[in-house]
């Protein structure tokens, strides 16, 4: 009888009153909620073994199941005090697991980019598992390796993500000290160019321009709004840490990660970084727990310290051929500014970004203390002396993914242990810890972290290493405590479906898309156009290619826009002759990665130019000797590519634009550029009557500019170079040092340039940032 009454009480909600305090209990099925009238709401799984302790009428979770209220379980106490208490209770193995950040996890792990997972020993499709179930690998690293930080990638839908979160939280709540999972995500609000925006439409998640696109609005308020909305959607899916923003200063125009940045100007990037982090981290009203942190907060992991932008020749640090960041202009200070004056000096109550990720690169000759040229996360000067001591940063420092692994060649996507390739995996872990980092990105196994601890004991003694491990544990635990996960990590999957991609959020994202579009050219006021004109849309050609993981994509012909969306505004015709105008969609030149094995077979060193033009480019003006070089995987140090020739992979775009103009010499040709990098406009500008540039928007956003539904307001957050000679002459670490292109209308495609219907935009944004 007592058992029946207890179950009925949980089902319909129970109320208990003691010492003037009231708690209510509600059974949500997979979890139970206990609401303190004057305190935090608690959530726990009914089968996790967690009990509720009632003290002076207030409810607390007995996470370690010892029958008493420990300091870390007391939500009334300061976060720092709770984190210190829990760190002291943790074993070395538990702290080692806390210092891990998982490899990429798809939900469900049914195959694809990051591989397939097994469920009870079977592939997902054969297992009978739910999409929200934990995979075998996830159960293993949570249980055996004590891992508590999980990076998720694709999710089936928001409800599945929330249900997976509940399963993961219930699993870890039942073991050890009950430390919750802190789930993270890389940016996931990118656009679908083929989707149609409808003011009443919902989506899987709100769609925004890429980060570079938001930068083109020159409006920190839009960036902050993005952060607030994205954080709300993240928390609805169980994501409490964002592996963003990328606040590298984009001073090297050829870098493949240029489009993830906030542009090349330090002042603009600083203001946008501050707004982004404030938006993500700040909770208000009933959602706030303390000091701006709370249930709508998402920890922001700013990246990449001390700035990943100045890659020599534009080659990226994911590969050995791009291991070096160089500073020919002696300009490290501009690259630090978005961190030190932006992310570390917030306007909001959280005050500072809660986590930092160093980049893979060797910041060449920047270690003025020890003279080490090793990857940033291995460098004690870069992490401890500069970041922690000089700039007073005591948050989490997490390595980029996979830096402790081995690598067999400079062009293979494997480990990224630049400068320490000859160390063992355990020795690399130890060097990272000694440098001042707290966490290992992409590592699922605690064994090498424990081995690193033992190395430290041998060198410094047990007391030193125990203190060092607890120091990192406290930093990591703060970020879990502050967002309320210890009290209630559980979610309502149905609520997640309502919140994520809501009408309100979709509308805000779409408005930002429109505001991010830059009108570069509008010859004779070609735009706006009347609706229902006849339009010719040429197909584009994409040659076969391979991604970083070696997976091949076959060649294809496709339309660069959604024809269904275009049909809502114009009549599509099959030939240029039948059209009133042409709409040509191209991507900025894909000029290579700066390395090609074919060059080795010709007796070269493998290094080739990265081009920002479509046509053949020979690097006659490149530097004769590289600034940096040297790897155990190579027998030389000079990585120069002077005199070598490359052609952009998507060079068909050049033919596409110019041939269309040749077929329609007296009709408008509207060119829309999806820009990942700056480019050389000279190749296509004269064939275009109007040019729109964006960094990730839907077809409809472009049409709303073309038809005049919205007036263009975007500004270039970077320079568009006159030619490749000025690209070779610019210094990788210096912003805005190229000769910008001047078009046939006399306009200069410089930083902060853009047109509206009246002409060149000269407003407060331009006055503030174009100094």
Classify 579 as helix, strand or coil: coil
* Token digits of residue 116: 């397939």
User: In the predicted model, what is the mean pLDDT of residues 698-704?
Assistant: 97
Does pLDDT of 4 surpass 50? no
Question: Looking at residue 373, what is its pLDDT?
Answer: 98
Mean pLDDT value across the chain: 94
pLDDT above 80: residue 577: yes
Residue from 277, 90, 62, 286 nearest 174 by CA: 62
Residue 434 CA, distance from chain mean position: 27
pLDDT at 470: 98
121 phi-psi bin (left φ>0, alpha ψ -120 to 50, beta other): left
What pLDDT was estimated at residue 3?
43
The token pair at 562 is 């959604």
**Bond into 108 cis (ω within 30):** yes
49: left (phi over 0), alpha (psi -120 to 50) or beta: left
- pLDDT tens, 300-322? 999 999 999 999 999 999 999 99
Upstream peptide bond of 304 is cis (omega within 30 degrees of 0): yes
Average pLDDT over residues 135-161: 95
Distance in angstroms (rounded) separating the CA atoms of residues 13 and 23: 10
Question: What torsion, rounded to 10 degrees, do the Cα atoms 70, 71, 77, 78 define?
Answer: -140
The pLDDT of residue 114 is 63
The model's confidence at residue 563, banded by pLDDT at 50, 70 and 90, is: very high
- Residue 203's pLDDT band (boundaries 50, 70, 90)? low
> Tokens at residue 687, please?
């064939």
Instruction: Identify whether 245 is preceded by a cis peptide bond (ω within 30 of 0).
Output: yes
**Residue 771, pLDDT score:** 82
Half-sphere exposure of 22 (CA within 13 A, CB side): 5
Whether the Cβ atoms of residue 117 and residue 136 lie closer than 8 Å to each other: yes
Taking alpha carbons only, the member of 266, 396, 289 closest to residue 349 is: 289
What is the rounded average pLDDT of the residues 721-743?
Answer: 98
Helix, strand or coil, per DSSP, at residue 460: helix
Question: What is the C-alpha separation between 374 and 420, in angstroms, rounded?
Answer: 7
- The per-residue pLDDT for 5 is 37
DSSP class of 410: T
Q: Is the peptide bond before 306 cis (omega within 30 degrees of 0)?
A: yes
Of the candidates 366, 362, 400, the residue with the CA atom closest to the CA atom of residue 385 = 366
Would you say residue 81 has pLDDT above 80? Answer: yes
Kindly state the percentage of the chain with pLDDT values over 90.
Answer: 91
Packing angle, helices 462-481 and 79-89, rounded to 10: 130
Q: Look at residue 2 in the predicted model and tell me its pLDDT.
A: 41
Please name the residues in contact with 389: beta carbons below 8 A apart, sequence gap of 6 or more: none
Q: What is the pLDDT of residues 28-62, one digit of tens each?
A: 999 999 999 989 999 999 999 999 999 999 999 99
What is the mean predicted confidence (pLDDT) over 206-212?
95
For the chain, report the end-to-end CA distance as a whole number of angstroms.
78
Residue 11 pLDDT greater than 70, yes or no: no
Q: Is the pLDDT of residue 6 over 60?
A: no
CB 330 within 8 A of CB 310: no
Considering only CA atoms, which of 630, 694, 558 is closest in space to residue 191?
A: 694
Asked whether the beta carbons of 733 and 334 are under 8 A apart, the reply is: yes
- Residue 68 CB coordination number (10 Å): 10
Location of structure tokens 């010499």: 665
Helix (H, G, I), strand (E, B) or coil at 498: helix
* Closest C-alpha to 565, from 190, 191, 198: 198
Q: pLDDT per residue over 339-375, tens digit each?
A: 999 999 999 999 999 999 999 999 999 999 999 999 9
Q: How many residues does the chain have?
A: 771
Task: Say yes or no to pLDDT of 191 above 70.
Answer: no
Mean pLDDT computed over 670-694: 98
Q: What does the alpha-carbon distance between residue 636 and residue 360 come to, in Å, rounded to a whole number?
A: 21
Cα separation, 654 vs 652, in Å, equals 5
Within 8 A by CB and 6+ apart from 246, the residues are 211, 257, 260, 261, 262, 303, 304, 308
**pLDDT bracket for residue 550 (50, 70, 90):** confident
The span from the CA of 508 to the CA of 187, in Å, is 17
The pLDDT confidence band at residue 186, using thresholds 50, 70 and 90, is: confident
Q: Assign 15 to helix, strand or coil.
A: strand
pLDDT 10s digits, 622-656 = 999 999 999 999 999 999 999 999 999 999 999 99
For residues 322 and 271, the answer to whether their CB atoms sit within 8 Å is no
Q: What is the pLDDT of residue 193?
A: 46
The residue among 22, 37, 36, 28 whose CA lies nearest residue 10 is: 28
Residue 463, both tokens: 């007391």
- pLDDT tier, 199 (very low <50, low <70, confident <90, very high otherwise): very low
CA dist., res. 452 & res. 446, Å (int): 10
Cα 93 to chain center, whole Å?
Answer: 30
466 CB-contact burial (10 Å; exposed 0-12 / middle 13-18 / buried 19+): middle
User: Residue 18 — very low, low, confident or very high, per pLDDT cuts 50/70/90?
Assistant: low
The tokens describing 662, both together, are 């040749």
Taking residues 233-244, what's their average pLDDT?
97
> Residue 8 has what pLDDT?
38
Cα 496 to Cα 487: distance, rounded to the nearest angstrom: 19
Do strands 182-185 and 534-536 pair parallel, antiparallel, or not at all (unpaired)? unpaired
Strands 556-558 and 540-542: antiparallel
pLDDT at 547: 76
d(CA 505, CA 495): 15
Helices (H), 114-191: 124-127, 136-143, 158-173
Q: CA–CA distance from 344 to each of 353, 440, 739, 767 (Å)?
A: 6, 22, 33, 26
Q: What share of the chain is helix, strand, coil (3-state, %, to 5)?
A: 35, 20, 50
- Find out whether 570 and 532 touch, Cβ atoms under 8 Å: yes
- The pair of structure tokens assigned to 720 is 């568009």
- Give pLDDT, residue 189: 76
Find the mean pLDDT for residues 269-290.
Answer: 98
List, in sequence order, the alpha helices (H) in 154-309: 158-173, 211-215, 220-236, 266-281
- Residue 541 three-state SS: strand
- Count CB neighbours of 82 within 10 A: 22
Residue 363 to residue 310: CA distance in whole angstroms: 9
For 500-601, where are the alpha helices, taking DSSP H only?
503-516, 563-566, 597-601
């Amino acid at each position: 009888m007592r058992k029946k009454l207890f179950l009925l009480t949980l089902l319909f909600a129970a109320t208990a009153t003691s010492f003037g305090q009231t708690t209510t209990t509600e059974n949500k099925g997979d979890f139970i909620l206990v609401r303190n009238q004057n305190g935090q709401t608690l959530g726990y799984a009914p089968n996790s073994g967690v009990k509720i302790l009632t003290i002076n009428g207030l409810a607390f979770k007995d996470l370690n199941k010892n029958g008493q209220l420990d300091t870390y379980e007391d939500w009334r106490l300061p976060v720092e005090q709770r984190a210190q208490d829990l760190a002291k209770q943790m074993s070395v193995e538990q702290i080692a697991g806390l210092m891990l950040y998982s490899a990429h996890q798809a939900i469900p792990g049914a195959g694809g980019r990051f591989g397939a997972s097994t469920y009870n020993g079977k592939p997902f499709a054969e297992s009978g598992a739910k999409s929200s179930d934990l995979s075998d690998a996830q159960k293993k690293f949570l249980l055996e390796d004590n891992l508590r930080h999980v990076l998720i990638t694709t999710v089936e839908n928001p409800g599945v993500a929330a249900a997976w979160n509940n399963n993961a939280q219930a699993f870890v709540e039942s073991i050890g000290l009950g430390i919750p999972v802190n789930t993270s995500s890389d940016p996931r609000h990118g656009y679908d160019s083929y989707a149609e925006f409808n003011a009443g439409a919902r989506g899987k998640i709100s769609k925004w321009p890429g980060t570079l696109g938001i930068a083109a609005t020159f409006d920190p308020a839009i960036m902050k709004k993005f952060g607030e909305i994205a954080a709300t959607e993240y928390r609805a899916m169980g994501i409490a840490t964002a592996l963003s923003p990328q606040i590298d200063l984009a001073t090297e125009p050829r870098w493949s990660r240029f489009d993830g940045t906030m542009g090349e100007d330090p002042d603009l990037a600083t203001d946008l970084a501050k707004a982004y982090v404030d938006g993500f981290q700040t909770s208000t009203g009933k959602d706030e727990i303390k000091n701006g942190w709370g249930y709508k907060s998402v920890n922001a992991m700013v990246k990449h310290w001390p700035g990943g932008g100045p890659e020599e020749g534009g080659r990226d640090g994911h590969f050995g051929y791009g291991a070096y960041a160089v500073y020919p202009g002696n300009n490290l200070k501009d690259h630090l500014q978005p961190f030190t004056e932006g992310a570390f000096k917030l306007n909001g109550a959280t005050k500072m970004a809660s986590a930092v990720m160093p980049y893979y690169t060797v910041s060449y000759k920047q270690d003025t203390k020890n003279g080490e040229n090793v990857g940033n996360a291995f460098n004690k000067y870069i992490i401890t002396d500069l970041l922690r001591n000089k700039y007073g940063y005591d948050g989490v420092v997490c390595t980029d993914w996979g830096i402790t692994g081995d690598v067999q060649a400079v062009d293979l996507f494997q480990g990224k242990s630049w400068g320490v390739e000859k160390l063992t995996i355990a020795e690399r872990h130890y060097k990272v810890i000694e440098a001042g980092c707290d966490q290992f990105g992409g590592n699922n196994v605690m064994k090498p972290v424990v081995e690193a601890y033992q190395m430290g004991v041998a060198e410094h003694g047990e007391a030193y290493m125990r203190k060092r491990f607890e120091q990192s544990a406290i930093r990591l635990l703060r970020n879990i405590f502050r967002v309320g996960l210890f009290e209630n990590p559980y979610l309502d999957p149905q609520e997640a479906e309502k919140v994520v991609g809501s009408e309100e959020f979709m509308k805000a994202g779409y408005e930002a898309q429109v505001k991010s579009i830059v009108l570069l050219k509008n010859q004779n006021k070609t735009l706006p156009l009347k609706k229902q004109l006849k339009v010719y849309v040429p197909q584009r050609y994409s040659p076969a290619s391979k991604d970083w993981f070696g997976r091949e994509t076959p060649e294809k012909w496709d339309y660069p826009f959604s024809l269904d969306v275009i049909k809502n505004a114009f009549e599509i015709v099959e030939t240029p002759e039948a059209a009133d105008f042409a709409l040509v969609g191209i991507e900025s030149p894909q000029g290579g990665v700066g390395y090609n094995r074919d060059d080795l077979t010709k007796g070269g060193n493998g290094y080739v130019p990265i081009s920002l033009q479509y046509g053949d480019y020979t690097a006659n003006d490149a530097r004769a000797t590289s600034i940096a070089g040297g790897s155990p995987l190579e027998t030389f140090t000079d990585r120069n590519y002077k005199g070598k020739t490359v052609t952009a992979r998507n060079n068909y775009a050049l033919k596409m634009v110019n041939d269309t103009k040749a077929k329609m010499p007296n009709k408008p040709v509207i060119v829309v550029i999806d820009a990942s990098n700056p480019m050389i406009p000279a190749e296509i500008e004269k064939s275009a009557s109007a040019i729109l540039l964006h960094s990730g928007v839907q077809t409809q956003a472009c049409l709303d500019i073309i038809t005049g539904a919205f007036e263009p307001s975007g500004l270039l957050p970077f320079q568009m170079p006159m030619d490749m000679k000025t690209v070779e002459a610019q210094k990788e670490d210096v912003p805005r040092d190229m000769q910008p292109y001047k078009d046939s209308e006399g306009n200069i495609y410089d930083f902060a340039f853009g047109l509206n219907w009246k002409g060149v935009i000269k407003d407060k944004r331009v006055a503030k940032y174009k100094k």
